[in-house]
A and B are shown apart, each in its own frame.
Chain A
Amino acid sequence: DIQMTQSPSSLSASVGDRVTITCRASQDIGNYLTWFQQKPGKAPRSLIYTVSTLQSGVPSRFSGSGSGTDFALTISSLQPEDSAVYYCQQSESYPITFGGGTKVEIK
Chain B
Amino acid sequence: DVKVTQSSRYLVKRTGEKVFLECVQDMDHENMFWYRQDPGLGLRLIYFSYDVKMKEKGDIPEGYSVSREKKERFSLILESASTNQTSMYLCASRGERTFTDTQYFGPGTRLTVL
Do A and B interact with each other, yes or no?
no
Residues of A within 8 A of B (CB): none
Residues of B within 8 A of A (CB): none
